[in-house]
Structure 1
């Protein structure tokens, strides 16, 4: 509903205006009345009406002075002027000052007033749509600035190195609100995991979790797997209703009203709360901790900082899981992943890093598996909402890929011994492999095996081994920050020169150039 203020010194005219029109059917509600411009200006400051219908000639302050005063104070309400036959010069001046139109009081009819309101409503809708778009863009940029301040302070929030000290957020410098942005006195934050089921500001308001206030402005910002909702308001209180929050779907943390200068500190505190929610797996919404815990990094209410990310993320642990997957040891894979997940939990690793690790392992498993399509959807960042749920999901996808691999292998070639060699090479590609060793394994003469392998697979044994190793090296170059020389040794090349030469033979690039052309290496791990 658009709010309307009626300004007229004659009470019977105000009564007539109220009775002539079914205001709500046209999308308007009468928010107040005033007998002169001075009263109207005070009422406008309180109610912030969208439309002012005002007489031109009034005592104390006339309609033109009211219009000029409102514009001087930055009020953008639309104005429709009421005038008599002999006041057209005043009406003309009002239009020059930005009034939307005028009505003749003596001949005012329902149709004329309805037409005027319809026009004003269309102008208001267009203006609000334009202003909302501009304001959203301005505040989106503001959120990015604040988020950067949050992330760069202490590197604990989203930094990929250094101590994760988001449990003890200090008072952070927050970018000043631009003069171009509307000023609000308070803001309420809601932080949740991002995803298709994440709440929108409209969801929160419609479910009654916050008391609605006419001047409220909402916004949302998503980054690093989190979605934060903002509810800004000026003076009227907007209260969080804990009982209503308990009924909201999903899980997250919400704040009590805070001034804008506390936004960065509170937002960073929410990140620490979300980490706790990630590991304890508790459902529902909880209020943020006491504001006292945000005042100082030495606050006794703050738990000890988490360990640095590098102490929890471990290439050795990931490699153990990868090798179990390559060797199709389901129990070993489950044990390796469970052990890694316990390590991450014990160190209270930032859950965004955990989700990155899960996505990385899922990509590696997909690249190793047979019988799976390259178009298979990757593990989405928002696929699980807790540490335990993510482990279950990752392990389930890995086991499904192992099943697909076993099924695909059944029809690999029509020769059982060649299939046996292919399985062995896939599981032991990093070992010292040779034609002689494979011939002994299947009790065949070397030259015969060489010809048979080429006949059944279309390639030589040495080429097959080289391609296996290069494929594994390509994966490690993209998914880890291990040195190229170390990767060469991991996949089975005896020295750096042989690795570089072979890699270039199959890819046309050196390992270093391949890594550079295929994106930056991920964060440091053990």
Structure 2
């Protein structure tokens, strides 16, 4: 039976329609009635009728407003409009809402019955069409599942092609896309169903291909290749709008032109999903595409990977400890490329970054002469390495944390060392003082100490030494000492060199500072 809801503000007319029209003989059953459009909306949500018969003139919400609300809410049931006025304007507006009939009150039973017969034929035809479509799509979906399984070598290619043609799956191109919701295992079935249902409308409803579910994936078989970044991004946007807040990975296996190759494309798409950690974020992944193109590291006999790892740790420590922030991220990227070239998978790369970060934290702490404690911040960072979904996020977080940690740990030990260095300069400026001398005293390499000194004082070592010497010379000259004597006492063996330095920093001759 076809379900009907009657909406009219006149109780006698509602009752009359229910009793005078031979509903059952015509294949209908009246399931409910309402006195205005607002009440009818609630009934429609509960009953989901196939046909609504509504009066034009009603209080609270009239018939046209009611039908408009039905269409806006996505309801596609048939509608018949009743009106006490033979008003063509009403008829025109009703037609825009896709009404099945427009009858003038008082209702003529014969006319109503004739209209109902036409509506019944339309509804039955639509039901047959939907049933055929469901059956056809189901058969095609089942056959798609067969194409996504390894093909038996004994299968006759001609018969396979014939069956594919029968299923209307013989296309010029095929592109497989797999979508994996990133949700707990217990919630996965529900998310797969919701995602699949949402995608069917845009893919199958627009004749763009088929949608099926083979856990843990929703699978799209598209009949048109996703050539170009714009088309891939558009599809990714469609998936994201349907997925809502649910995180997911989507990957294509590339375009193939033979149905027998669909399975191999499916395998490539699955492999791309597995490599998501190495890929760019918020994009449709592609086969054999990673975010990092690892440079070639020469591999010598005896395997020097361990030495290269130590070298990376040393250079990172050097940059962090010297405050050379610009070098840290490039070195982390180099480390990532090195790990990738070694063929390491996601877990191994995360473990390598855990080891590298832990070593750096301990070296930074030891160099600053403070005790490393198992702080919550350090533990959270190190454990968080294993929670990162993308290598790019892991690099960004590692970069951020190491810079902050080096900055926090650095001054506590380095300020004392810089104070020692500047004090040493002020005490020994007249001697043949060299940076290498201080480096030896403080147990640092000369380049490292030079970088550290500049970062902390804002001056190169030699510039700082020259300025101290010139300041001391000014004091001696002001006391009446001769220029050559002052030059010698502050550490310059050449008077001409002293003159050039003095003029460089003071802008005038040493003689100008002598008392008359």
TM-score normalised according to structure 1 size: 0.30
Structure with higher Rg: it is: 2
**Normalization by structure 2: what TM-score?**
0.31
